[in-house]
Chain A
Amino acid sequence: MKYTYLLLILLAASACKKSFYTDVNINPNAPSPNSIVPSVLLPSVEGALAYMQGGDLSRFSALNLQQVTGNARQAQAFSQYTYTLQDFDAAWGNIYADVLENNEVLLQMADAKGYHAYSGIARILKAYTMQLAVDNWGSVPYSNALLGNSGNLKPAFDNDRKLYDTIAKLTTDGIAQLNNTDRGVLTPSDDDAVYGGKAGLWIKFAHAIRARLFLHQSKGNAAMAAGALGEINQSFTSNADNAQYVFGNTETSANPWYQFNEQRTDISFNNATMVDVMTILRDPRLPILIDTANDGLLYYGVINAPVEFITYDELLFAGAEATLRNGGTTAAANVLYQKAIKSNMQKLGVKDADIDTYIALIESLTLTNDVDQSIKLIATQEYFALYLNPEAWTLWRRTNSPTLTPATGAGIPRRLLYPQSEYSYNKANTPASVTLYSPRIFWDN
């Protein structure tokens, strides 16, 4: 009899309603989508963006530009411009899957729920990230990218020049959202590792991005240079305004250069063209940036070192360049130029006396009436100031300054290759016959 009961129990168990099965298949380690709030998404986006820029993109740029030298394994190959398509998978994957996808989730949630401050920040982060993508790769997916979860796994590529317009619009929309007096029920504060939720600073950052957009297109185009100047005037006013991400003091929150040097040791900081030039100039920043005795990275290589997105000194250099390109006076440009050097040195902690000595003694720190020559001088100093920042490579491609001797034949690369994963899984859309030299990014002429 009791077996009949047992049988009945078992029959009952298997005849239970569907939830008997479906309930156990819910992942208990994943929060329900309803409990996700902007304050857990924004840290993911900002951290991934900073790690990607300060990791792969920084190394590609710094190796190409001889700010550092690879002395083993892949880094050594990169120094010789030997790249495989797989070498770009990580950066590309980080940009789209780790940064942009989650930023899109944040943006849509913020728009849907009227969290205007987050809506603004998400647009500005999107603009900045897309600008990095365009400046490194040119045409990239945008319009129907990031739709994997709704079925589009093979996005088309958008034209790079048009993407610059899209980026400009993102910044305008972002500023508008941040200017909305209704900031929304949930507002950013400590979860925003860049600005602690301060709308004013985000608006300045948006203008800084716009300044880059204009400046990148300003060669032989005074209107663009004027545009850049207009944006710079609405942007950062001191080093305190810098857009940057500061890492933590633990191994799992450490700065990407710190992690690379700890875990790989494939890059030398001593043996680099930049160090040679700074040594000749007796630049007081050199011992702050690099430990030449032990071939180590100092300022940008400590565990919690910041990854800088756009800084005040970069805008001052940009202002100097734009002034010259817009037909401004050498004197006006020179003021900005020297102020840029000074700000950069102050940021790095050079003593005021040393700054004054440096500016007074070095002839190349005063601009001349030769515009091309002056832009070369600006770009060389900016090359030091943008140490390890991928914007340095963009600067070099725009100005061909400072003059560098390519490590091997074909010259310094003008762009990155599309990654293997894109050719493998989105072949129909991914432009073929791309090399490190062509096609160039639309502003690179």
Chain B
Amino acid sequence: MRKFLSATLACLILASIANAQTQEVTGKIVDSTGAPISGATLKVKGSKTGASAAPDGSFKIKIPHGSTLIVSSIGFTPQEIASVGNSPLMITLNGSNRTMNEVVVTAIGISREKRELGSATQTITADQLNRTGSGNPLSELNGKASGLTVVNSSGDPGAGTYIRLRGVTSITGNNQPLMVVDGVPIDNSINTYDPTGAGILASGANGNLTGGTQPTNRGVDLNPNDIESVTLLKGPAATALYGIQAASGALIITTKRGGTGQGPVISFNSSTSIDHTNKLPERQNIYSQGDNGKYFGPTDGSSSKFTWGARIDTLFRNGVADAYDPNGKIVGASDPTKKTRAVAYDPYKFFRTGLTYNNNIALSGGNSKTAYRMSLGNLHQLGVIPQTKYDKTTFNINGQATLSSRFTISGGINFIRGDNDKAQQGSNTSGVMLGLLRTPTTFDNSNGLSDPVNNPASYVLPNGKERDYRGGPGYDNPYWTVNRVIFHEDLLRAFGYGQASYQLLDWITIAYKLGGDIYSQNDKNAYDIGSNIAPAGAVHLSNFYNQQYNSDITVSLKKNLTSDLSSSLLVGHNYFTLNQHTKLSHGTGLTLPDFLDMANAQSYTNQEFDSRKRSSAFYAEGHLSWKDMLFLTLTGRRETSSTLPAKNNSFFYPSASLAWEFYKAGGANTVLSYGKLRTSFAQVGKDAPTHSLETYYLPSAVSDGFTTGLVYPINGNTGYQFGSSVAIIGNPNLKAEKTSSFEFGTDLGFWKNRVSLNATLYYSRSSDVILTVPVAFTSGFAAELLNAAVITNKGLEITLNTTPLRSNNWRWDLNFNWARNINLVKSLAPGVDRVLLAGFTNGEVDALAGKPFGVIYGTTYVRSNPTDLKSPLLINDRKGDDGYGMPIVSNQSMALGQIDPDWTASVINNLTFKGFTLGVQVDIRHGGNLWDGTRGAMTYFGTSQLTANRGQATTFKGVAGHLNDNGDVAHFDAAGNETLKPGGPNTVASSLNEFYYQNIGNSFIGPIEANIENSGFVRIRQASLGYQLPASVLKNMHLRSLSLTIFANNPALWTKYKGVDPETSLAGPANGQGLDYFNNPGIRSYGVRLGLSL
């Protein structure tokens, strides 16, 4: 250490001798609020000398006398300081994405001033992240940019987060953007095995996950505390240089690093929050368990599955405690054994208060040549569902060194360990919400116990069988589920990079970067003996091992051609390789109860899924700048991918973009302070899934849609099959998908940029889109892979940033984001107009030709014109029918809803007064639908609030009629004769009775139409109030900074949606969004955050 120090010292001395005419400048860089800007860079104009600020904003740099300092930081206006006076300097950067002058990192790590870009990007900086302390870097982005869709699948710890830029461009492939950390792509896969669903085929972007647990997408592994900024490259023009991986846009994540010329700085952040469910489906608590108005108890057979019993206020308990209720059996008012009045229990007390601790400590610093940062973070979350938890520990270390005036190296590595216990959800008899919401209000899942989670008497009967409201087969008691149906996931991951850059000549730099991302995810999912979904018990072990490496070599050339024209050129080569290994072991038939171990199983089956991929590419980017106001960028990339047949595996895509700062040509005035027009054209492609060129023999398995079926070997015989009900015909002629896009935009600044407006209009067309097209089983197969679909997206994105108030002590920033995307699936494949994305035969989300991607498709009510959803309902006029006077359920399916909203917006408020900062973010989603299958099933079972008005008389709006024997619309005329065409308006009063709710008024048995709901909302996403101690106080405390923030996440939500938080997804972060079928609830949190640095 001492040797190193003395060597460094010697260097410094030598350096100072060499530059006798230098001065040392020290100081601090802060933003307009006085908060330090960590990592701000200082450069001497016209030279390579530079330094960066420490986390507390302080810096030290040696500069030649009389030189000009350029101070810049991502998200702030660079500032030039021409005559550097006496230090220390206090440099205030104005900032935060209000100006066009920020530097952004674009594809392949190229830094460029935003003003020079011809395509839309948006940067979210560290001070906007981490306000909620949720520890999920993806959900933190929610609402912070236009054109960005973020959907948290549920409030479960570790649940996945669906993320998308603009519209979808792929039907059955991945639509999520590429995640790039410090220039290296990292994995954002969904790895899951759902034994209740379609098995391994349910994994990935094309997953149809309807049961099991909420899957995690691996992007949530990042630690938001380590993120300096996230730049969104929204369209193909911005990502064309990245190639196939970034065809859906990219999130360019830059991590925090140490400042050169800075002693060690320790910063510590800690937040603690409490979490509650923020919205639950409303239940009725008037009527008891039973059927046809009569009470039936847990042991009374199939009538006990419903909550269509007697009014609870007419019922009593007999006081003789039994295994089902400590207050005894329910009896009628006339029963002599009656003791106490029956009461409605509250099933929702099942949920607990969640807790989240998020702690992070970082050490950073450096000398004039080197810098480093180390960070250790821990997120510890206890979910609102008992026994669920998530623990994530991250360690990050990075550094950079200037080895000579021409040679720099840098590198960083992240280690992540995750530990996650999840609860079952969705369409799954072990699903927590399924069991909970079907439970009648007269049955107490907790059995009156004070600690039902840890006391098996709540979920196990004295005879060892499960205690549930149906007294046997049906649905698991949620307390059983969280104790006896376990899902545990652990993750070990490392990713990082090393980079070297050498300046060959003043105008040529060669750089090489090698990055890797390796992880192993181990899941254990087990069902104890007696669980409804696997009565014999089962253990499933899954291991997902993933490694990917990325290599980029680039040569960049910079030259001023004339005094007006400067140019740069970058040529590079990329090599990427991916290896995925999945191993699944299944043990069925357990011997001992409450022993969820693989060795306890009686039989075993195993599966392996491996996939490898390689791609390489040459690419180039040329950039011309004329008079510092007109900028032209041309890119090209020729890529070769292993997933395509040799004859089609190389393809080229170009992009061109032009930006013009017209205000420099005399357009500026007192109102307009900045003006730019930009336009771009780009083409990108996507390759095929691995192993899609051939039809393969696979290990045999057979199932029939009702049962899990056979898995070979059977009785010692191994089986392989070529065709099967899930087999896909390979396609040796696949070629790359192609997306072409145009974009046009403007960036304007008014009144010295106190108001700035960015608007982007875009159009893209994706053709030859690869999708799995179903075929007739009589071909011997289930589907084939085709280059077939055509999808278009057009949209408008607007960002408006304003500073209504700015004075010495006050500052108020008010920023708006607004976006609308119009997607259209123009065609799917010849003869195919519908492809299932996710869901069930009664409640599915499809891609439908001629409609926007993500259509909720299903059965309807019969209308006077059955093909027109706008025509009046046909009200049954057959007197003998149970449904007389009620709407009629059709067996016709139609497009009923659309999952994407009409538009989304956010309003971000930031008010500072001296050391105080008040931040409020409001998000708006207008339009869009969800299928509320939860409410449908609850209505059928009689637990939904909707059924509280049971028995009430109503006259349904519509016209009298019915379908005749030929299926045509007809009605009975005054004489009682059947006549074609509908009759007059309905005048028959009918009752909202059990028949209506069970057969007509819900989507569980009745039409899907009954439960299509608007999923729009207005919500306060975040609210926070922080206080930063002033420097004068800190000095005495020997602290660099100290801040305290109280925050609320999701404190208020206004929505018409009647289920859980409308930001929900049964299929998790997969393409098939828009389904709610007993989804686990979302959460609201309140917390406090402490920030400290010394």
Given contacts A14-B616, A18-B646, contact A253 B510 (CB under 8 A): no
Q: Which of B640-686 contact A (CB under 8 A)?
A: 640-643, 645-646, 649
Q: List 8 A-B contacts (CB under 8 A).
A: A25-B691, A41-B721, A47-B702, A153-B784, A154-B776, A154-B831, A193-B715, A251-B536
The answer for the CA separation of A427 and B834 in the assembled complex, in Å, is 14
The answer for the CA separation of A222 and B990 in the assembled complex, in Å, is 60
Question: CB within 8 A of B707: which of A10, A98, A102, A263?
Answer: A263
Given contacts A25-B642, A30-B697, A47-B714, contact A426 B778 (CB under 8 A): yes
In contact, A101 and B723 (Cβ under 8 angstroms): yes
B966 to chain A, nearest CB (A): 11
In contact, A256 and B704 (Cβ under 8 angstroms): yes
A75 to chain B, nearest CB (A): 9
In contact, A260 and B707 (Cβ under 8 angstroms): yes
Across the two chains, which residue of chain A brings its CB closest to B780?
A101
A216 to chain B, nearest CB (A): 23
| Residue B712 is within 8 A (CB to CB) of chain A in the complex | yes
B258 to chain A, nearest CB (A): 26
In contact, A10 and B551 (Cβ under 8 angstroms): yes
Contact mask for chain B residues 749-782; partner A; CB cutoff 8 A; 1 contact, 0 none: 0000000000000000000000000111111111
| Residue B302 is within 8 A (CB to CB) of chain A in the complex | yes
A137 to chain B, nearest CB (A): 11
Contact mask for chain A residues 36-72; partner B; CB cutoff 8 A; 1 contact, 0 none: 1001110110011001100110000000000000011
Across the two chains, which residue of chain B brings its CB closest to A263?
B707
A92 to chain B, nearest CB (A): 6
The answer for the CA separation of A74 and B704 in the assembled complex, in Å, is 13
The answer for the CA separation of A419 and B777 in the assembled complex, in Å, is 10
| Residue A327 is within 8 A (CB to CB) of chain B in the complex | no
The answer for the CA separation of A208 and B618 in the assembled complex, in Å, is 68
Chain B residues within an 8 Å CB radius of A246: 715
In contact, B781 and A21 (Cβ under 8 angstroms): no
B508 to chain A, nearest CB (A): 12
In contact, A27 and B704 (Cβ under 8 angstroms): no
Across the two chains, which residue of chain B brings its CB closest to A141?
B778
The answer for the CA separation of A10 and B616 in the assembled complex, in Å, is 9
The answer for the CA separation of A89 and B711 in the assembled complex, in Å, is 20
Chain A residues within an 8 Å CB radius of B700: 43-44, 47-48
The answer for the CA separation of A248 and B721 in the assembled complex, in Å, is 19
Chain A residues within an 8 Å CB radius of B981: none
Q: Which of A243-265 contact B (CB under 8 A)?
A: 246-253, 256, 259-260, 262-265
The answer for the CA separation of A389 and B578 in the assembled complex, in Å, is 50
In contact, A47 and B719 (Cβ under 8 angstroms): yes
Given contacts A51-B709, A191-B717, contact A96 B777 (CB under 8 A): yes
Which of B608, B609, B713, B725 has the most chain A CB within a 10 Å cutoff? B725
In contact, A29 and B718 (Cβ under 8 angstroms): no
Q: Which of B161-203 contact A (CB under 8 A)?
A: none
The answer for the CA separation of A146 and B642 in the assembled complex, in Å, is 30
Chain A residues within an 8 Å CB radius of B646: 18, 21-22
Q: Which of B580-609 contact A (CB under 8 A)?
A: 586, 588-589, 602-603, 605, 608-609
The answer for the CA separation of A24 and B775 in the assembled complex, in Å, is 28
The answer for the CA separation of A41 and B725 in the assembled complex, in Å, is 16
Chain B residues within an 8 Å CB radius of A277: none
| Residue B415 is within 8 A (CB to CB) of chain A in the complex | no
| Residue B1057 is within 8 A (CB to CB) of chain A in the complex | no
In contact, A265 and B776 (Cβ under 8 angstroms): no
The answer for the CA separation of A406 and B649 in the assembled complex, in Å, is 62
| Residue B125 is within 8 A (CB to CB) of chain A in the complex | no
In contact, A14 and B690 (Cβ under 8 angstroms): no
The answer for the CA separation of A30 and B722 in the assembled complex, in Å, is 10
The answer for the CA separation of A293 and B1071 in the assembled complex, in Å, is 48
B615 to chain A, nearest CB (A): 8
Contact mask for chain B residues 728-762; partner A; CB cutoff 8 A; 1 contact, 0 none: 01000000000000000000000000000000000
| Residue B85 is within 8 A (CB to CB) of chain A in the complex | no
Chain B residues within an 8 Å CB radius of A152: 779
For the complex, count residues of B whose C-beta is within 8 A of A. Answer: 85
Q: Which of A1-29 contact B (CB under 8 A)?
A: 3, 6-7, 10-11, 13-14, 18, 20-22, 24-29
Chain B residues within an 8 Å CB radius of A11: 573
Across the two chains, which residue of chain B brings its CB closest to A304?
B715
Chain A residues within an 8 Å CB radius of B1000: none
B580 to chain A, nearest CB (A): 11
The answer for the CA separation of A86 and B841 in the assembled complex, in Å, is 8
| Residue A221 is within 8 A (CB to CB) of chain B in the complex | no
In contact, A6 and B775 (Cβ under 8 angstroms): no
| Residue B1058 is within 8 A (CB to CB) of chain A in the complex | no
In contact, A93 and B551 (Cβ under 8 angstroms): no
Q: A41-B721, A55-B704, A145-B779 are in contact. List 6 more A-B contacts (CB 8 A).
A: A21-B649, A52-B704, A94-B725, A98-B725, A190-B717, A426-B778
Across the two chains, which residue of chain B brings its CB closest to A254?
B710
The answer for the CA separation of A249 and B725 in the assembled complex, in Å, is 25
Chain B residues within an 8 Å CB radius of A140: 778
| Residue A90 is within 8 A (CB to CB) of chain B in the complex | yes
Contact mask for chain B residues 326-346; partner A; CB cutoff 8 A; 1 contact, 0 none: 000000000000000000000
In contact, A105 and B704 (Cβ under 8 angstroms): no
Give 8 closest A-B pairs by Cβ, nearest first.
A101-B723, A148-B779, A101-B780, A250-B603, A251-B588, A30-B696, A43-B717, A426-B776
| Residue B716 is within 8 A (CB to CB) of chain A in the complex | yes
In contact, B710 and A51 (Cβ under 8 angstroms): yes
The answer for the CA separation of A83 and B1014 in the assembled complex, in Å, is 31
| Residue A391 is within 8 A (CB to CB) of chain B in the complex | no
B78 to chain A, nearest CB (A): 32
B residues bordering A, Cβ < 8 Å? 302, 473, 502, 510, 512, 533-536, 538, 551, 553, 573, 575, 586, 588-589, 602-603, 605, 608-610, 612-614, 616, 618, 640-643, 645-646, 649, 690-691, 693-698, 700, 702-725, 727, 729, 774-782, 784, 831-832, 834, 841, 891
Given contacts A27-B694, A43-B700, A191-B717, contact A422 B776 (CB under 8 A): yes
Q: Interface size class for chain A?
A: 35 or more
The answer for the CA separation of A138 and B613 in the assembled complex, in Å, is 47
A338 to chain B, nearest CB (A): 35
Question: CB within 8 A of A52: which of B553, B602, B702, B778?
Answer: B702
Question: CB within 8 A of A155: which of B712, B729, B779?
Answer: B779
| Residue A421 is within 8 A (CB to CB) of chain B in the complex | yes
In contact, B715 and A36 (Cβ under 8 angstroms): no
Chain A residues within an 8 Å CB radius of B716: 190
In contact, A72 and B774 (Cβ under 8 angstroms): no
Question: CB within 8 A of B779: which of A18, A44, A47, A147?
Answer: A147
Question: CB within 8 A of A51: which of B704, B779, B782?
Answer: B704
Chain B residues within an 8 Å CB radius of A97: 723-725, 727, 777, 780-782
Question: CB within 8 A of B832: which of A74, A253, A425?
Answer: A425
Chain A residues within an 8 Å CB radius of B649: 18, 21-22
In contact, B776 and A146 (Cβ under 8 angstroms): no
The answer for the CA separation of A259 and B553 in the assembled complex, in Å, is 57
Across the two chains, which residue of chain A brings its CB closest to B577?
A24
A4 to chain B, nearest CB (A): 9
The answer for the CA separation of A348 and B859 in the assembled complex, in Å, is 46
| Residue A31 is within 8 A (CB to CB) of chain B in the complex | yes
In contact, B697 and A36 (Cβ under 8 angstroms): yes
Across the two chains, which residue of chain A brings its CB closest to B535?
A262
A78 to chain B, nearest CB (A): 11
The answer for the CA separation of A372 and B782 in the assembled complex, in Å, is 46
The answer for the CA separation of A208 and B247 in the assembled complex, in Å, is 60
Chain A residues within an 8 Å CB radius of B831: 154, 425, 427
The answer for the CA separation of A248 and B712 in the assembled complex, in Å, is 11
In contact, B693 and A252 (Cβ under 8 angstroms): no
| Residue A104 is within 8 A (CB to CB) of chain B in the complex | yes
Chain A residues within an 8 Å CB radius of B711: 252-253
In contact, B603 and A252 (Cβ under 8 angstroms): yes
Chain B residues within an 8 Å CB radius of A421: 774, 776-777
In contact, B702 and A98 (Cβ under 8 angstroms): yes
In contact, B589 and A251 (Cβ under 8 angstroms): yes
In contact, A33 and B697 (Cβ under 8 angstroms): yes
